[in-house]
């Protein structure tokens, strides 16, 4: 293959590389600093640098061959994802109540991280194959159906946080693939009801007076017991849907009858799922809900983390307290300071300058991914970029939002900064694929 120097320059996305290299550099400094009081400091640093090395190799590897291989071999990738998730259930190690790691000689590997990238690649291929039917409900349903087994396997670990990161990827790709909004909206409604109900229930539960004062609220609270009130609610939903349909006929508004049926079904399904989710919620997860709803309720409990993160960020000021000088992270007030809350540690030690740099580099990274998507030579590349950008964007918004108190604590790391070998390596691998798509944006070779 003949490569001209000018062509070579055009093939490498230096902006992308600069963005991730900058983030990894800041992340490395922050990890070196924040992990220093920890007992396994040496091991952490060793693993981090191993992950940086492996990740850089994976990035170069992903740059090296045509990304269309992934499209051709999408079924193989899908199978690998399933197999790795089955393998972790069989061979995996339990850490913090989750069976999510496979132990290898030098490090532990988290197959869910790999599965997310592989699912993105195979889902893009699936959606691209059905491009002609992209306007149909089946297109959306198919996309969800494809990821369902993967999500189910991760739920078996059980790793609630990891499954959460699949949804922005799926929805982002479907949306960018031109899927109709109604089914996506229906899915969002379903998801909203399923996740929102436990939140509301928890809120009511926090105020025993409310339910005691109102039999309606009490009945609402008892929906989750799946008993009498639940059946009443289901009947009521269908009755209301039927009434609404009759009303629309009276008003001579022409709406298709299935709309009401589907709407009612979604509500019922959401209600049922919500009740299931509510039962499945672990105590610490419910505590996080509480902490988000009422931050001052329990300053030493779940909201402690968020408060300490905000104190860390705020006390950093404009210039920060200096690397290795953060009192919040050094003295252990800031929890998860080298993983989920690393952004707060950066805010404390490197100040507003540091946090701005991180956000700016992230925006550069996302911009490069969005730009690559625009220029991609085929729809597959476009979808892959959209999916990967959705994942990173979601992580950025949720993780930083969590540190700032906008979002409940969800246990979602900040890729490229947070300590976590599998995540770092797989993120760099994903960025390699984006770089690959960029380099092959013109179908000259």
Q: How far is the CB of 182 from another protein (least distance, A)?
A: 15
Q: How far is the CB of 263 from another protein (least distance, A)?
A: 24
Q: How far is the CB of 370 from another protein (least distance, A)?
A: 5
H or E element, residue 180: none
Whichever of 75 and 374 has its CB closer to another protein, that residue is 374
Q: How far is the CB of 280 from another protein (least distance, A)?
A: 26
**Whole-angstrom distance, CA of residue 406 vs CA of residue 92:** 34
**Whole-angstrom distance, CA of residue 329 vs CA of residue 34:** 6
Whichever of 274 and 316 has its CB closer to another protein, that residue is 316
**Whole-angstrom distance, CA of residue 411 vs CA of residue 408:** 9
Whichever of 253 and 331 has its CB closer to another protein, that residue is 331
* β-pair partners for 94: 99
Whichever of 72 and 225 has its CB closer to another protein, that residue is 72
Task: Give the residue from 78, 158, 167, 69 showing the smallest Cα distance to 437.
Answer: 69
Q: How far is the CB of 363 from another protein (least distance, A)?
A: 6
Contacting positions for another protein (CB under 8 A): 128, 131, 172, 175-178, 300, 304, 308, 310-318, 327-328, 330-333, 335, 347-348, 351-352, 355-356, 359, 362-363, 366-367, 370, 373-374, 376, 378-379, 382, 386, 390, 393, 396-397, 400-401, 404, 406
CB under 8 Å to 224, separation ≥6 — which residues?
197, 198, 201, 230, 274, 275, 278, 279
Whichever of 102 and 127 has its CB closer to another protein, that residue is 127
CB under 8 Å to 86, separation ≥6 — which residues?
153
Whichever of 154 and 171 has its CB closer to another protein, that residue is 171
Q: How far is the CB of 378 from another protein (least distance, A)?
A: 6
The tokens describing 126, both together, are 């699936």
CB under 8 Å to 436, separation ≥6 — which residues?
62, 63, 64, 65, 66, 67
Whichever of 241 and 290 has its CB closer to another protein, that residue is 290
* β-pair partners for 93: 101
Residue 206 has a CB neighbour count (10 Å cut-off) of 13
Q: How far is the CB of 384 from another protein (least distance, A)?
A: 12
Judge residue 282's burial from the number of C-beta atoms within 10 Å of its C-beta, 0-12 exposed, 13-18 middle, 19 or more buried: exposed
Give the three-state DSSP class for 157: coil
Q: How far is the CB of 103 from another protein (least distance, A)?
A: 29
Whichever of 199 and 373 has its CB closer to another protein, that residue is 373
Contact 306, 402 (CB under 8 A): yes
């Amino acid at each position: 293959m003949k490569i001209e120097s000018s062509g070579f320059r055009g093939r490498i996305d230096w902006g992308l590389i600069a963005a991730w290299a900058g983030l990894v550099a800041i992340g490395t400094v922050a990890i070196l600093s924040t992990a220093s009081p920890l007992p396994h400091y040496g091991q952490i640093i060793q693993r981090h640098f191993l992950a940086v090395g492996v990740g850089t190799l994976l990035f170069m590897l992903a740059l090296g061959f045509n990304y269309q291989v992934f499209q051709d071999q999408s079924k193989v990738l899908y199978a690998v994802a399933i197999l790795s998730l089955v393998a972790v259930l069989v061979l995996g190690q339990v850490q913090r109540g989750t069976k999510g790691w496979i132990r290898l000689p030098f490090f532990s590997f988290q197959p869910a991280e790999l599965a997310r990238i592989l699912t993105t690649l195979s889902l893009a291929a699936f959606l691209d194959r059905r491009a002609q039917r992209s306007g149909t409900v089946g297109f959306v349903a198919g996309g969800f159906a494809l990821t369902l087994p993967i999500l189910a396997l991760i739920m078996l670990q059980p790793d609630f946080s990891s499954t959460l990161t699949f949804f922005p990827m799926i929805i982002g790709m479907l949306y960018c693939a031109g899927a109709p909004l109604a089914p996506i909206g229906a899915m969002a409604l379903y998801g909203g009801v399923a996740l929102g109900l436990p939140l509301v229930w928890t809120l009511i539960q926090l105020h025993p007076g409310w339910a005691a004062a109102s039999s309606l609220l009490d009945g609402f609270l008892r929906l989750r017991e799946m008993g009498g009130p639940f059946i009443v609610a289901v009947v009521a939903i269908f009755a209301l849907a039927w009434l609404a349909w009759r009303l629309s006929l009276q008003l001579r508004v022409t709406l298709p009858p299935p709309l009401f049926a589907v709407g009612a079904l979604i509500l019922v399904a959401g209600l049922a799922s919500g009740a299931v989710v509510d039962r499945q919620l672990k105590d610490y997860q419910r505590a996080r809900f509480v902490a988000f709803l009422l931050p001052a309720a329990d300053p030493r409990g779940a909201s402690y983390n968020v408060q300490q993160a905000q104190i860390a960020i705020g006390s950093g000021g404009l210039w920060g307290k200096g690397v290795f000088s953060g009192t919040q992270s050094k003295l252990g007030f800031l929890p998860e300071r080298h993983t989920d809350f690393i952004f707060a540690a950066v805010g404390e030690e490197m100040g507003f300058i540091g946090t701005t740099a991180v956000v700016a580099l992230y925006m550069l990274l996302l911009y490069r991914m969005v730009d690559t998507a625009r220029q991609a030579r085929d729809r597959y590349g476009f979808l892959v970029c959209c999916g990967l950008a959705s994942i990173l964007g979601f992580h950025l918004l949720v993780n930083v939002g969590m540190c700032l108190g906008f979002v409940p604590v969800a246990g979602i790391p900040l890729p490229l900064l947070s300590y976590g070998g599998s995540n770092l390596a797989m993120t760099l691998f994903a960025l390699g694929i984006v770089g690959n798509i960029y380099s092959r944006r013109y179908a000259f070779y």
